[in-house]
Amino acid sequence: MRHVQRNAQGRARRARAALAAVLTWAGLLAGVTGCTTDGPGTRGAPGAPRAAEDTIAIAPDDGSKGVRPGEELSVRVSSGRLESVRVVKYQDAQETPVPGRISGDGRRWDPADGRLAPAARYTVDAVAVDGRGHRSARSTAFTTQVPGERFIAYVTPEHRSLVGTGMIVSLRFNREIADRAAVERAVRVTARPAVEIRAHWFGGDRLDFRPERYWRPGTEVTVDLRLRDVEGAPGVYGMQDKAVAFTVGRSQVSLVDAERHTMEVRRDGELLGTVPITAGTPRNPTYNGKMVVTDLYEVTRMNGDTVGFGGEYDIPDVPHAMRLTESGTFLHGNYWASPDAFGETNVSHGCVGLRDEKGGSSQTPAGWFFDRTLVGDVVEVVNSDDKRVAADNGLGGWNMAWQEWKAGSARS
């Protein structure tokens, strides 16, 4: 299955030492997960469960922009009870948990401080349990109002994060940038050990940076934002002056062969293991090309209604999900397909599936891979019937030749 994120839970392993989940702008402002495709799809896997209409209500609405500080932030359920709620504020590349409490009857979560911060992104991850003990998940995101005629950059990855060797620095601006050269000059990305790093614009609101090849493990990268008072558009000035730093961990690159139905996982060049997989069907194939893990979810919801598959599937508890593209490609655990499919045939709507158990298990292939994955790790797909993934779909810039990448600079 290939998915657009909506109603997902468990921005997984955030508490895991030195790992900060990377949140790409489009992925945050998407909603319920569901398979994506360029055309009509086939029926979902036999036996795939369908969830009832959402019972988790979150305010402000998912994808809202320019939310005023006085608006209410709340999470409610109409039945059952809330099991967990995690709200995180992202402001100036800093990640801050928002404290709050679940009511005694389990029906509502409210923040300790009801006032939202300006010029910030918020993510809300909630898990609810119904009367039969079944869990469902929802994840939403919104941004708050930027004061006056100002622009800000939302930075990927987060400050002080530990990432995989394929991480690309990505800046998303809240306004269209007219003077791209001026803004690009105000952003400096450096590395230790030193390596040439070049910029590439995708439209007027996204600026990415990468080296020619994957980062060397152990590299320390600093992103200096000197945007304060830089005129990005007529009468619109930057408001940030800060640095973001992250460290590149070990190198892990996984090769998915859609024809052979296998995934080879290599750590620092050595084969760590070969895992049987199922990829997209001929009618809904998986993208070819190099993709980068941008989010990890212990459990997420995937709903075909959101991406043109109608009611073909609605799975509230997909385990061990790893986002690969903004358009919705995931590598995830699959407990509903026949165990015989893995390593033998392609049955998904475009994602890469690994065998798993309902509720997730570290002993399954999906759990094994999830526990060994960092945000920033590379997953490359070959021998699929689909086209190569676009360079601006997630952190897909590694699919662009170096000369073409450099030509996308406003300073070249």
| Pairing status of strand 378-382 against strand 252-257 | parallel
- Residue 351: active-site member: yes
Q: Which amino acid is at 350?
A: G
Which candidate in 3, 35, 200, 351 is catalytic? 351
Which candidate in 3, 200, 320, 332 is catalytic? 332
Supply the DSSP symbol for 191. E
- Residue 35: active-site member: no
Contacts of 244 (CB under 8 A, 6+ apart): 93, 155, 157, 158, 159, 222, 223, 225
Supply the DSSP symbol for 50. B
Cα angle at 204 between 291 and 29, to 5 degrees? Answer: 55
Are 296 and 375 within 8 A, CB to CB?
yes
Q: Give me the residue label for tokens 């655990």.
A: 333
Contacts of 310 (CB under 8 A, 6+ apart): 304
Cα angle at 140 between 167 and 81, to 5 degrees? Answer: 125
Q: Is residue 308 classed exposed, middle or buried when 0-12, 13-18 and 19+ CB atoms within 10 A define those classes?
A: middle
Closest of 115, 112, 118 to residue 143, by C-alpha = 118
Whole-number Cα distances in Å, 201 to 65, 180, 222, 397, 406: 22, 8, 19, 11, 10
Q: Where are the beta strands (DSSP E) in 249-329?
A: 252-257, 262-267, 270-276, 289-292, 295-303, 314-323
Q: How far apart (Å, rounded) are the C-alpha atoms in residues 209 and 189?
A: 8
- Rounded to the nearest 10 degrees, how much is the dihedral formed by the CA atoms of 253, 6, 305, 345? 20
- Report the catalytic residues: 332, 351
